[in-house]
Amino acid sequence: MLTQNIQTNHVSENSSPESCPALVLNADFRPLSYYPLSLWHWQDAIKAVFLDRVNIVSEYEQTVSSPSFDMRLPSVVSLKNYVTPARYPAFTRFNVFLRDKFTCQYCGIEDDLTFDHVIPRSKGGTTTWENVVAACSPCNLRKANKLSKVAKMWPSQQPYRPSVHQLHANGRHFPPNFLHESWQDYLYWDTELEP
Ligand SMILES: [Zn+2]
């Protein structure tokens, strides 16, 4: 495998290449995916460069070296061939929290969040966008396996399957923990520019 013999050059930089993922853009220079954000491990990014599947858009200071070459790790790559993006985000824990803005859908607090099935599983409720909401542990315990009308607890909004666009609108308020500076031009590109 191409990248097996690559040694990271720890002389030039202290941070580990493990903390240097590449942001993957589609051929139109928008992220391939927002939720989850399309990131590749540095080895996959370099492999794709050598397979001529991506262009390097931006690089880290961090370099890697092998007997035959030295190169800086890509921080942003763009696909050479356009891939039709998914219209709907994946049904994941993070994305449900993001849809619900990390707040309990019953009481509105933002701590100790878990999930609640609006129609309990014991009553045939499914684990889907349309039946799962963010809920704090106390509300989740209080509602238990009761229907909303029995528990007198209704979610503040009817759960729904969000579009990528809807999640993206919420995502601006809850950016990922790690955003390399070179990614900023490609994320939140539709936010208002400073005058
Ligand atoms: Zn609550």
Ligand 1 geometric centre to CA of 184 (Å)? 34
Q: Where, residue-wise, is CATH 1.10.30.50 in the chain?
A: 93-151
Q: What CA–CA distance (Å, rounded) separates 26 from 19?
A: 22
pLDDT score recorded for residue 182:
84
Cβ(64)–Cβ(42) below 8 Å: yes
CA–centroid distance, 58 to ligand 1, in Å, is 43
Give 133 Cα–ligand 1 centroid separation in angstroms.
11
How high is the pLDDT of residue 96? 93
Whether pTM > 0.75 for this model: the answer is: no
CB count in 10 Å sphere of residue 116? 25
Instruction: State the pLDDT at residue 4.
Output: 46
What is the whole-number distance in angstroms between the Cα of residue 178 and the centre of ligand 1? 28
Dist. CA 103 → ligand 1 center (Å): 8
Q: Which fold has domain 93-151?
A: DNA Binding (I), subunit A (1.10.30)
Amino acid in position 68 = S
Rounded distance from Cα 60 to ligand 1 centre (Å): 42
Q: What is the 3-state secondary structure (H, E, C) of 37-58?
A: ECEECHHHHHHHHHCCCEEEEE
Predicted pLDDT of residue 188: 62
Q: Are 164 and 38 in contact (CB under 8 A)?
A: no
Rounded CA gap, 183 and 195, in Å?
21
| Dist. CA 167 → ligand 1 center (Å) | 22
Distance 137 CA to ligand 1 centre (A): 7
Quote the ligand 1 centre to 132 CA distance (angstroms).
Answer: 14
Ligand 1 centroid from CA 113, angstroms: 8
C-alpha 104 to ligand 1 mean position (Å): 5
Mind listing the pLDDT tens digit of every residue in the chain (195 residues)?
444 444 444 333 456 888 899 999 999 999 998 888 899 999 999 999 999 999 999 999 999 888 888 899 999 999 999 999 888 888 988 899 999 999 999 999 999 999 999 999 999 999 999 999 999 999 999 999 999 999 999 999 999 999 988 988 888 787 766 778 888 778 765 444 444
Q: How far is the CA of 92 from the centre of ligand 1 (A)?
A: 20
CA 134 to chain centre: 17
Residue 164 CA to ligand 1 center (angstroms) comes to: 26
Parallel, antiparallel, or unpaired for β 22-25 and 70-79? parallel
